Structure 1
Amino acid sequence: MKGKKGVIFDLDGTLLDTLTDIADSMNAALSRHGFPLHDSDDYRLMVGGGIDVLARRAVPRERRDDGTVSSVVAAMREEYGMRWAATSRPFPGVVEMLAGLACRNILCAVLSNKLDSFTKLMVRSLLGGFSFFQVRGLVAGQPRKPDPRAALEIAQDMRLTPEEMIFVGDSDIDMETGKRAGMTPVGVSWGYQAPEKLILSGACVILDAPGDLLKYL
């Protein structure tokens, strides 16, 4: 991977450990509807696709009609707005990794399926010491990962080719996004999906610690 000039990071499970706040918020939304709750670890297999996908996976199978899911999504937005920073923090080593990338003049961006407003808020609040080239979350009417268009737009704005880019994430969605964009997909072992799944999804490398990324640049 030598010679890479740009990196696109996923957010949840890659840069930030947000699982507890997401789980608590969704459980609060489910409770408001009288639905069963889930253990925090159960959400590892639910997150990554965006809030509407999360809600559809979290509600009971027999209640996954559009109206119910939309109501749970609305409740989740309210609940998450009250607790998005309760426990969420950068994973150990992430701050040092970002500093190392800055020293190497590597352009960095964030691309998440989290709502754009929350994505920008959390990066600004929890990773505010770093200047990202772009921070993009999910916007209504625009494609979400693994569609590669947003990743390719970021590369174009950086004036880099896809071959000069790395896509780093913790999910099969991220690996698929990187592959479809023609970038190098890199998985992380500290996130919410098993490294074996990332390898099967096309990860070229699995990082065991954030600082390991610097070894490949």
Structure 2
Amino acid sequence: MKFKGIIFDLDGTLVNSLEDISDAMNTVLTNLNYPTHTYDTYQYFIGSGLRNLVSKALPASNNSEDQIETCFDCMITEYREICTLKTKPYEGIIELLDTLASKNIKLAVFSNKADELTKKIAAEIFPDYFEAAVGLSTEELKKPNPFEAIEISKNWNLKTEEILFVGDSDIDMQTANNANMFAVGVSWGYRTEQELKNSGAKLVINNPSELIEIV
């Protein structure tokens, strides 16, 4: 099977956004006089959307739906201002995208980050590479729901099995399998190789250049 398209996760796969996300949430927590968290802790909060991250970051005693909603709005406000301040592509990603583009491989991003922010980061850090950058518009469509991934395949006029789904988390591997796409885990993100394999990764790569060999 020759793969004709690749859908990438964003955070932990294409870009290291850990510090910007963590800094934004810690600002919200500090303003409320709540305990903050380390970058290492936030690494395990990332992957299921920013609303979920807010819920995990708040103290258990202050975790009502109203509080989550209020803090989520504040976090988005903070994060919107700094979302590309420290966020950078992982080493080798730009070279990978250049090579894939030269081979006419269709490229897209599908993230559980808010749609507005997904599009902003993709456009600012990776201009002209992706035919689509899709983020979270409603909780019902959050990964591992494969709906948006399948919609991308339809827009490309490709069968789902002709598409690689590349990500760094268990959620990404579940999404890939739910969409009947080839699940590729990356070891440089926020989860371990074993977690990725346990979640259905067909392959786990340690360097972006390895993706060329798969294609």
Report the TM-score when normalising by structure 1: 0.96
The share of aligned pairs that are identical, in percent, is 38
Matched, 1:131 2:129: yes
Matched, 1:51 2:28: no
Q: Unaligned regions of 5+ residues in structure 2, if any? A: none
The residue identity in structure 2 corresponding to 1:93 is G
Deviation, 1:32, is 1.5
- 1: distance between equivalents of 2:27 and 2:193? 30
After superposition, the C-alpha distances for 1:155-181 in whole angstroms (9 at most, x for unaligned) are 011000111011000000000000000
Spell out the pairing of 1:50-89 with structure 2 (5 A cutoff): 50-89=49-88
Which residue number in structure 1 is paired with residue 184 of structure 2? 186
The residue identity in structure 1 corresponding to 2:24 is S
Deviation, 1:17, is 0.7
The residue identity in structure 2 corresponding to 1:27 is N
Contact 1:27–1:38 (8 Å) recurs in 2: yes
Larger mean CA deviation between 72-81 and 182-191 belongs to 72-81
After superposition, the C-alpha distances for 1:181-216 in whole angstroms (9 at most, x for unaligned) are 000110001101111100000001111011110011
Which residue number in structure 2 is paired with residue 148 of structure 1? 146
Spell out the pairing of 1:1-217 with structure 2 (5 A cutoff): 2-128=1-127, 130-140=128-138, 142-217=140-215
Contact 2:97–2:129 (8 Å) recurs in 1: no
- 2: distance between equivalents of 1:136 and 1:81? 17
- 1: distance between equivalents of 2:183 and 2:6? 10
The residue identity in structure 2 corresponding to 1:121 is K
- 1: distance between equivalents of 2:136 and 2:73? 15
SS in 2 for 1:45: coil
- 2: distance between equivalents of 1:207 and 1:29? 35
Q: Unaligned regions of 5+ residues in structure 1, if any? A: none
Equivalent pairs, count: 215
Moved over 3 A (4+): none
- 1: distance between equivalents of 2:34 and 2:175? 33
Report the TM-score when normalising by structure 2: 0.97
Deviation, 1:131, is 2.8
The residue identity in structure 2 corresponding to 1:28 is T
Contact 1:185–1:202 (8 Å) recurs in 2: yes
SS in 1 for 2:73: helix
The residue identity in structure 2 corresponding to 1:85 is T
Contact 1:166–1:184 (8 Å) recurs in 2: yes
Deviation, 1:39, is 0.3
Deviation, 1:142, is 5.0
Contact 1:33–1:72 (8 Å) recurs in 2: no
Aligned residues: CA RMSD: 1.0
- 2: distance between equivalents of 1:160 and 1:73? 36
Deviation, 1:62, is 2.0
After superposition, the C-alpha distances for 1:107-133 in whole angstroms (9 at most, x for unaligned) are 0100001111111111111111x3312
Contact 2:177–2:200 (8 Å) recurs in 1: yes
SS in 1 for 2:108: strand
